[in-house]
Structure 1
Amino acid sequence: MTTPPDFACPCGSGHRLSACCGRYHAGAPAVPAPTAEALMRARYSAFVLDRLDYLLATWHPTTRPAALEPNEPGLRWLGLTVRHHRVLAADRAEVSFVARSKLGGRAHRLEEVSRFVREDGRWFYVDGDLSGRP
């Protein structure tokens, strides 16, 4: 999916895509997200934009699936709310968030506490708890 760089970033920051998550999605050499929260926002935007390559590249190899399916036709992402970003150690963090979507006239809400690790200066998504509570 090609999205104009002056498009509002899906993560809800209020910035243009090119000045926000789009800079992390860019081809090699991509700018690494500086924090776990920035990576989580960039991953949300990648879900919205069907940037499956970015999602796989930022998923830790120990938990990364072999492949991801694109968004179902008609799926609309409605927004992201970050509840908290907690640094647990220099190279470990978690981010609690709510992502809202709509498909076939039904609203959906994903609440998760995601775990991240930083290796060689890059943050990676490891896994998450769907409870939405730390």
Structure 2
Amino acid sequence: MKTKKHVFPHQQCKTNFLALRDSLELLGGKWKLFIVLRIGKNPDDLHHFKKLEKDIIGISAKVLSKELRVLEENKIITRTVQNTRPVTVTYALTKYGQSLIPIAQDLQQWGLNHRKMISGI
């Protein structure tokens, strides 16, 4: 008895490939998912730049600024200038950005499982 292979039409493969590439391009790198998880952890808190810089160990101000800008451009976060003296800026996840939380948590869990598997613990 022959088994049928599940073959996607060329256009669907191309679309799926491009969608995955877009996702990896946006979320790839060292810091973006850390930023998303940090802001998403306490969504009601005000997330100021300096607080994010302090909470995300190892990130520089320059890199944080660049990553926040990319996340804002892609509608993952909002940037709000507060009417205070001195002027302060806060960041929050958009509803769209909140959809990344379970994905990031799944990746985090996969990483924990992978570490256990590799280390034999």
Question: What's the TM-score, normalizing by structure 2?
Answer: 0.28
Larger RCO of the pair (alpha carbons < 8 Å, separation 6+): 2
Higher relative helix content: 2
**Higher fraction of strand:** 1
- Which structure has the larger Rg? 2
